[in-house]
Amino acid sequence: MAPLKQITVAAPATVANLTVGFDCLGLALERPMERLELRRTREPGVTLAAIHGADLPLEVERNVSGVAARSVLRALDVEWGVELTVHKAVLPGSGIGSSAASAASAAFGVAALAGANLSPEDLLPMALDGEQVASGARHADNVAPALLGGLCLVGPDGRVDRLPPPDWHLTVVHPEAVIETAEARAVLPGAVPLTDALQQMARLGRFVHCCHSGDALDAALALEDVLAEPHRIPLQPYFKTIGHAALGAGARAGGISGSGPSSYWVSLDRRTADDVGRAISAALHQAGAGHQVHLSSISTRGAHVLSNDA
């Protein structure tokens, strides 16, 4: 296919770790959604025209979208360039995959602009080039669902398997605070007791089995973490207040989303998820804490085209 003149793409926010799957589980949310406009230019390379909704660098080498876009251009070996206009709806430091949404939308968008026949799996390494700018690591638990959609399991070799997503209704709450990924990783221990590792391994196995058997409740009940979350909870503003409100309103499980400060809470029907959102908002309003609440199912759609102009 001939390259297009311009295109607009989107990529979803994500929840990573899912409590029981530290650095290896992630899911795509229906909302919020990152939006990226791309315009083909005669001048080779990447230009960042504007970033709306967040104060992020316009220098390509310091920008997640810029680096991911540059990696795809280099892989395609084209003679033209691309201009990016970023619309941030997934806020940096929120814990719901801001950098992953930027990396996924940029990698997917450049490939779509070029008319290249590249699969999400093909694009994953190039999107991870962008993700590494933000987190300092190439973990795919956010980037994979942002590209592929659904619920993703990332193996130690980088292979991504899509799991059958449980029929969950998610309440995601973002207190108005920022926690950097590097800060949240710094509090983790360098070694863990064998008994804790065995518990975590058994729960993760149980979770994967429940996904394949379609048992949404038992999949939620498998969401318990003894390795990372206990060390990260002290960093999370209002986490105990939010958890008490969510579980009291009927949520079956939940935990920190990514590095935080967002958290996610699992219900088995939409009405309960609504109740959980209202209970959390009431508790945070009483505490005087600004916040956002998103209600979502697991989205089967990852990065995708919104509009194009040939």
Question: Which residues are catalytically annotated?
Answer: 131, 181
- Cα 89 from chain centroid (whole Å): 12
Asked if 261 and 175 touch (Cβ cutoff 8 Å), the reply is yes
Cβ–Cβ contacts within 10 Å for residue 92, how many?
16
Those residues whose C-beta lies under 8 Å from the C-beta of residue 44, and which sit 6 or more positions away, are: 73, 78, 79, 80, 81
φ, ψ of residue 284 in degrees (nearest 5): -75, -35
Sign of CA dihedral 243, 247, 251, 255: positive
Asked if 258 and 96 touch (Cβ cutoff 8 Å), the reply is yes
Asked if 140 and 247 touch (Cβ cutoff 8 Å), the reply is no
Query: Taking Cα atoms as reference points, which of 230, 232, 205, 229 lies closest to residue 219?
Result: 205
- Cα 238 from chain centroid (whole Å): 21
Q: Beta strands 81-87 and 25-41: pairing type? A: antiparallel
CA 56 – CA 98 distance, rounded (Å): 12
